Structure 1
């Protein structure tokens, strides 16, 4: 009998800016707080959970020692609930969803949690390694460059101008601000404690990244970061962030047996490798491959979430695949809302699910570019 993996619940923290509201929050607490809320919202006794799979890109320091296990214990889950931390770089959160889904579809388990966490304040990017830690023999074979350099190369390959990149970034902020004003994120976000600028404890209720004062003129004034006369700036790249997110996944019949409502099912998953120098355009073949696996076309998809690591990633993807732009990142993306690395895949899936429900859409596609030339993609189907 075919087993179906379904999403029963999905929740996330707000995304805090690096050195922002969560600057003093331990990443274990970010993750454990969201695991507690996942259990509370679903009403599921956590003793039923058979595995917690948690993405984290820099598993060192306060994010070391298997943060998945530490977070589950800190959340009060029984010691009998195992947990694992994984790292597929920026795709870690979505990879956690795929692995947790595969545990169910294989028949090994019936109930799993897919989660992700990252504190880019407490554990800065590249804390676990950098160009100097790569063997010289491998660097002779491949030119390992910063992702920002790859973004410059993609902009050049796809003939994307600075004006196009800045306009896309401005629109990301505008869409995110509109979504916040209309309360579109309210249901998916779990408020947690953080600190305001004066150091007072506050309840953080919304993503910290969107900037009401962003303008095309302000974006145009920013200097290129990675290349003289280049096009990539701090304004058209994703924001470094702190945050966590989690999904409760079940085999469909088990969910029904327990009286829980399946909200969406996993239709297809894929991960691909691509040129490690261009690095970030793997989302194009990943999208094609996951659509082929699902037997769907671009026109069948109601909503797309493509991680805005850098503006050229999304613009090149749109140029190559030709989606209806009104279906892409409808509430803004990482340029405005932040990119908490290991949490991003689960965060975006949470947003995708809630927006499909809000619009009564059917299919959603999520894809994320990954360092060293990879990309991951998943299609879900909302269930009535």
Structure 2
């Protein structure tokens, strides 16, 4: 099978819901990184075969195939098509995997994988408001017959994980604080500078809190009565976009491109939809098996910090080193712009491998419905 190479990767700084990106249309956010991606790759955009873009809440300004809207909003050739995909929080990682599969199958040579989410303009609650008018998605006869009328939410899932793996509030708070410390250290050291394309005067990620502490985290009320999950141990609602260029070996030669990474292995799995967020455990094992690697072969991990309990349970089950996991902070500090996070994590992963001269990086995303996308990238 042909190989898939990543030629370039870029993201916006991740903004907060009340920050500098709050008023920017999501198509313009995505257009910004698409233009920057093509400029950095130094190639004629007419050669791109397709644009695959992840976006979760495809309503309002994010509806009507935002992949196509964003590409055209960027002033790029109308001959290039676009498609928007949704696999919950893993949407843009799925876009990247679809792009890699298209190249590896030999059916396409140059594919853009991207993602965007504007959580100030299109809040998470918007889909639910529409659903309550027309019928909730988890209320079909077949669903109720199989799972009953129990509560199925990410918040309950995070709490169930904490209980199953015996994770204390103190452990979760300490992990969350470390995420902020790592993100702030990365920003201060300029580690994100080469991977970000400033927009609207925003040059750095807005999420990390320099004034947080264990005392402040401990003072937060749990999201569920008697639980250990708090807002401080949860991913931030954010705004952002990212894009990557995936190329075949032939396209690399034809366009004089310089690959920065190679797709080594991929997996996508289904898991318990009630626990919902445990998929990265099985997904990591599946990707390692496909790639012929062990956990010890991985130099850097990016595991989405939907909740602190997700990453801590994953580390316990896989034996991964937390010192090498989210080394520059994760979504608890930097934010989680749903549909964009997969590509943003891949961008962070590749740049960290280049900075540290690591060879293999693994990233995994927990997803609604009890799923997970996992990918192993090799630095070139």
With the length of structure 1 as denominator, give the TM-score of the two structures.
0.95
Of Structure 1 and Structure 2, the greater helix share is in 2
List per-residue Cα deviations over 1:212-249 (Å, max 9, x = no partner).
Answer: 00100000000011x21210111000000000000001
Counterpart residue number, 1:133: 136
Cα offset, 1:45, TM superposition: 1.1
Paired residue for 1:197?
none
Deviations 1:306-343 (A, max 9, x none): 00000000000011111122211000000000000000
Please state if 1:56 is matched with 2:55: yes
CA distance in 1, matches of 2:215, 2:88: 33
Q: 1:294 corresponds to which residue?
A: 291
The answer to whether the Cα contact below 8 Å between 1:252 and 1:262 also exists between their aligned partners in 2 is: no
2:272 is equivalent to residue 267 of structure 1: no
TM-score by length of 2: 0.96
Query: Residues 250-291 of structure 1: CA distance to partner in whole angstroms, max 9, x if unpaired?
Result: 002321332111110001111100111001001100000000
Is 1:210–1:336's contact at 8 Å kept on the other side of the alignment? Answer: yes
Counterpart in the other structure of 1:71: 70
* Distance in 2 between residues matched to 1:79 and 1:173, nearest whole Å: 42
Give the secondary-structure state (helix, strand or coil) at the position aligned to 1:245: strand
Q: The residue matched to 1:171 in structure 2 has which SS? A: helix
Q: Which residue of 1 aligns with 2:221?
A: 223
1:170 aligns with 177
Q: Which of residues 363, 371, 375 is equivalent to 1:374? A: 371
* Map of 1:199 onto structure 2: none
Structure 1 contact 244–343 (Cα < 8 Å) conserved: yes
In the TM superposition, 1:1-384 aligns within 5 A as: 2-129=1-128, 133-134=136-137, 135-137=139-141, 138-142=143-147, 143-193=150-200, 203-225=201-223, 227-383=224-380
Q: How far apart, in 1, do the equivalents of 2:144 and 2:54 lie?
A: 27
- How far does residue 141 in structure 1 lie from its aligned partner after superposition? 2.2
SS in 2 for 1:24: coil
Q: Cα deviation per residue 1:27-75 (whole Å; 9 max; x = unaligned)?
A: 0100001100001111111101000000000011000000000000011
RMSD: 1.0
Aligned pair count reads 372
The CA distance in 2 between the partners of 1:316 and 1:72, in whole Å, is 39
**1:183-231 deviations in whole A, cap 9, x for unaligned?**
00000000011xxxxxxxxx10010000000100000000011x21210
Counterpart of 1:20 in 2: which secondary structure? coil
Unpaired segments ≥5 residues, structure 1: 194-202
Cα displacement (A) at 1:140:
4.0
Secondary structure of 1:89 counterpart: coil
Q: Distance in 2 between matches of 1:115 and 1:335?
A: 22
